[in-house]
Amino acid sequence: MSLLGKRVTERIKPSAITEMMILVKKHKAISLTAGEPSSEMYPVDLLRETIERALRDPGILSYYPLSTGITELREWIAEWMKEDGLLPQSYGGENVIMTNGSQDGLNLVSEAFIEPGDTVLVENPTYPEALLAFGKEGARFVSVPVDKDGPIVEEMEKVLSQNKVKLFYTIVNFQNPSGCVTTEERKKRILELASRYGFLIIEDDPYRYLRYEGEHEGSYIGLAQEEDRVIYLGSFSKIIAPGIRCGYMVLPSKIVGPMGELILATKLSLPAFLQRATWELLRNIDMKAHLAKLADTYRTRRDALHRFLQEKAVPQGMTYDLPKGGFFIWARVPWLKDCFDFAKFAVLEEKVGVVPGAAFYPDVLTADRSTLRLSFAKVPPETAEEAGERLGRALARYKETR
Amino acid sequence: MSLLGKRVTERIKPSAITEMMILVKKHKAISLTAGEPSSEMYPVDLLRETIERALRDPGILSYYPLSTGITELREWIAEWMKEDGLLPQSYGGENVIMTNGSQDGLNLVSEAFIEPGDTVLVENPTYPEALLAFGKEGARFVSVPVDKDGPIVEEMEKVLSQNKVKLFYTIVNFQNPSGCVTTEERKKRILELASRYGFLIIEDDPYRYLRYEGEHEGSYIGLAQEEDRVIYLGSFSKIIAPGIRCGYMVLPSKIVGPMGELILATKLSLPAFLQRATWELLRNIDMKAHLAKLADTYRTRRDALHRFLQEKAVPQGMTYDLPKGGFFIWARVPWLKDCFDFAKFAVLEEKVGVVPGAAFYPDVLTADRSTLRLSFAKVPPETAEEAGERLGRALARYKETR
């Protein structure tokens, strides 16, 4: 179809994460690939019950007159975030818009703000599906490296002095893939840069409630207060279930109207009964206990994988910092020259799936090809030993054959 | 937010239908506005049951590895359409992609094909939310008038000889708003034009299964056979419920891959468990009986509204052809100079909501401002008399005061 436009012919490339997940499934490998929670942790019974309850009112199965989502859930989210000290006092449910997961939010931001050729500043490394959403609209990328405390501010200043940046995309807690957490102090300095250089901050925060030790940080949107500089993206995918596709964005009042019209043009509305069911679930679940259970489970998984990586993969040259939350161990194997090739080798030869780290760099040419992303979320402790074993063996064999 | 791009600052305008629906709700008026089915007709019990069944496998609440939708439902749809003679023999489930209602399909087509300045040919009048989706990507519109048998081919040839058209958007059965049905013979002639002038046909068909008399027509996609010229958009919104947001598109094999990547970039995936539930519902429902029940109900409603319009509104000068299916009576009141103003008057003064017909014209300047769209779908016979009464009175009073 020669009629296809630039988005699909030039701008969008196949996703390395999806390709790897499909390969893992096909070869029935142990998967360290998926950035998704473990299905035993979904509150399925409660969800089933609340959906049943939501459907008692068939009117909820009609088109919803507000494309922005149901009022009760939007208000619940604003309250919840306020209790957590994340929102300016003047914000309320009217600043919240429901999305089909965070990716829908990323796409809406991209469609509302990006014109072809606009410059988007991203972290290096960063989440590749965000690059897809911005790249789709013709964004050009510049990047700032991160260390364990988030984006390196001095490096950011250099980039900003040389480029007119429209927006900065950042994953603030347990960043995907590096695991870094942006400190309050860095956020303040970056907000100053945003004011000085006039750019918007897209604060992506799906992993916030998956902290396994230490204290919660504040948010950009809370720090910015009345300055309309920040759009916050949240999601119930990691703490309830990805399949309810229930994400949200929090944004300055003056953008809510235009964003609602954009949603109407792209999908009219989302399944409102799922939002009603989610709202009832959130009101009825003991959220503190639920989050504590998630933290216990994933902390145990992280520690188990850590132990067997120490035993089996570290002797092959692997290094990493243990993350304090989220789903990923971001590893480096200094002698590894092509992580894409190794990832294929590992799944085909040893039936263990990892994601090549170079897929997370906005610039392919300067990507660190010795990196790997290892997700522990879906690996129970009893599988971790076998996963570590296979990965260690894959590294040893791969090293020999090259 | 001066950083907002052209889509929201220039291209997208507020939706007249949505504004009218909100006004009707606020003033508790009788509504002839919504293009949606009646909620008593939703198979809610069966849906509740099949969702419950789908959720017995918590894995279905994970991200789905295929952004295009679950295989079983895609295959069911292909089979169903084949039995109806709508698809080329070589097409199968792999040609079907699930969408969040038809609007999501319209948007995906627009994003995949439209570059700013591209020309889209539409019917006159047509569905305004389709104009939003195409306009969002910077489409320029040209139009072809319709009569009761669909687009007038001679007029279409004139437009094509003067414009390089990239795609033609058409609602083939019981068109929204005019109620026209494109005949097989017109479809053949228009397909020839598509080959000659090299454009794509977007065949939107949400009302097909809401026929109240007469025989079904064939489809463009079936007639085109192996020529990759047509993308078909279908939906369960009108025959199951809009709120499950379960639409689909059928497209040539070579576009499925790029379209799947576009879906990944815009939303990763849709709620797969809703697709599983819909599939189980479709397998378990007696579809023939269900569609017959829908036809009986809506035929009765159409006839009741017809009767009271004849009594109350026709004496005020209203004219229309009775549609053979769908949800709408497309009326004209020749003395009416501003249907927007009248629609506001009717809801505020007589508490009856109608959609101003001029909202359905791609070109505001040449829009017929004496038209009104009256939906009978949500008006039970016992309300039709009151609706006709109020509308007649609104017309009489409005005529006096101008």
My answer on whether A226 and A352 are in the same domain is: no
| The token pair that represents B245 in the structure block | 């947001």
Per-residue pLDDT band at A326 (split at 50, 70, 90): very high
My answer on whether A100 and A244 are in the same domain is: yes
Domain hosting residue B360, numbered range: 6-42+289-401
pLDDT of B264: 94
Please provide residue A96's backbone torsions phi and psi, each rounded to the nearest 5 degrees.
-105, 135
Sequence-separated (6 or more) residues with CB below 8 Å from residue B315:
B392
- Do B7 and A137 contact (CB within 8 A), yes or no? no
My answer on whether A270 and A322 are in the same domain is: no
Per-residue pLDDT band at B1 (split at 50, 70, 90): low
| The token pair that represents A151 in the structure block | 């984006």
pLDDT of B22 above 70: yes
My answer on whether B133 and B263 are in the same domain is: yes
Please indicate if any CB of chain A lies within 8 Å of the CB of B53.
Answer: no
Mean predicted confidence (pLDDT) in A116-122: 98
Cross-chain Cβ contact A133/B266 below 8 Å: yes
Residue entry with tokens 């709508």: B86
Q: Is A192 a member of any domain? A: yes
* Higher local confidence (pLDDT), B66 or A176: A176
Please indicate if any CB of chain B lies within 8 Å of the CB of A158.
Answer: no
B59 chain-A contacts, CB cut-off 8 A: 39
pLDDT of B245 above 90: yes
Mean predicted confidence (pLDDT) in B298-306: 98
My answer on whether B199 and B70 are in the same domain is: yes
Residue-wise pLDDT tens digits, A53-80: 999 999 999 987 789 999 999 999 999 9
Which residue in A100, A243, A267 is closest to B61 by CB distance?
A243
Alpha-carbon distance of A139 to A115, in angstroms, equals 7
Residue-wise pLDDT tens digits, A281-297: 999 999 999 999 999 99
Q: Is A1 a member of any domain? A: no
Q: Is B196 a member of any domain? A: yes
Q: Is B28 a member of any domain? A: yes
Burial A170-206 (b: 16+ CB within 10 A, else e): bbbbbbbbbbbbbeeebbeebbebbeebebbbbbbbb
Per-residue pLDDT band at A331 (split at 50, 70, 90): very high
Alpha-carbon distance of B381 to B278, in angstroms, equals 30
CATH number, residue B110: 3.40.640.10
My answer on whether A205 and A342 are in the same domain is: no
My answer on whether B114 and B38 are in the same domain is: no
My answer on whether B264 and B248 are in the same domain is: yes
My answer on whether B62 and B167 are in the same domain is: yes
The answer to whether the peptide bond before residue B125 is cis (omega within 30 degrees of 0) is: yes
Closest approach of chain B CAs to the CA of A159, in angstroms? 19
Q: Is B31 a member of any domain? A: yes
Alpha-carbon distance of A24 to A36, in angstroms, equals 15
What percent of chain A clears pLDDT 90, i.e. is strictly above it? 94
Q: Is B1 a member of any domain? A: no
My answer on whether A258 and A141 are in the same domain is: yes
In this predicted structure, which of B248-252, B264-268, B334-338, B398-402 has the lowest mean pLDDT? B398-402
Restricting to A residues 292-321, those with a Cβ less than 8 Å away from any Cβ of B are: none
Domain boundary among the residues B262, B284, B306 is at B284
- Do B333 and B316 contact (CB within 8 A), yes or no? yes
Domain boundary among the residues B284, B319, B349 is at B284
- Closest chain A residue by Cα to residue B129: A265
Q: Is B232 a member of any domain? A: yes
Mean predicted confidence (pLDDT) in B63-69: 87
Cross-chain Cβ contact B55/A44 below 8 Å: yes
Closest approach of chain B CAs to the CA of A60, in angstroms? 7
Alpha-carbon distance of B104 to B107, in angstroms, equals 5
Cross-chain Cβ contact B243/A39 below 8 Å: no
Which residue in A55, A136, A258 is closest to B44 by CB distance?
A55
- Do B153 and B372 contact (CB within 8 A), yes or no? no
Per-residue pLDDT band at A19 (split at 50, 70, 90): confident
Domain boundary among the residues A284, A312, A329 is at A284
pLDDT of B18: 84
Cross-chain Cβ contact A259/B8 below 8 Å: yes
Sequence-separated (6 or more) residues with CB below 8 Å from residue A343:
A20, A353, A354, A355, A356, A372
- Do B100 and B135 contact (CB within 8 A), yes or no? no
Mean predicted confidence (pLDDT) in A122-145: 97
Cross-chain Cβ contact A63/B5 below 8 Å: no
pLDDT of A86: 96
pLDDT of B63: 84
Alpha-carbon distance of A197 to A219, in angstroms, equals 20
* Higher local confidence (pLDDT), B35 or A102: A102
Per-residue pLDDT band at A1 (split at 50, 70, 90): low
pLDDT of A63: 84
**Domain tally, chain B:** 2
My answer on whether B100 and B217 are in the same domain is: yes
- Do A135 and A166 contact (CB within 8 A), yes or no? no
Q: Is A360 a member of any domain? A: yes
Mean predicted confidence (pLDDT) in A244-262: 96
My answer on whether A178 and A322 are in the same domain is: no
CATH number, residue A311: 3.90.1150.10
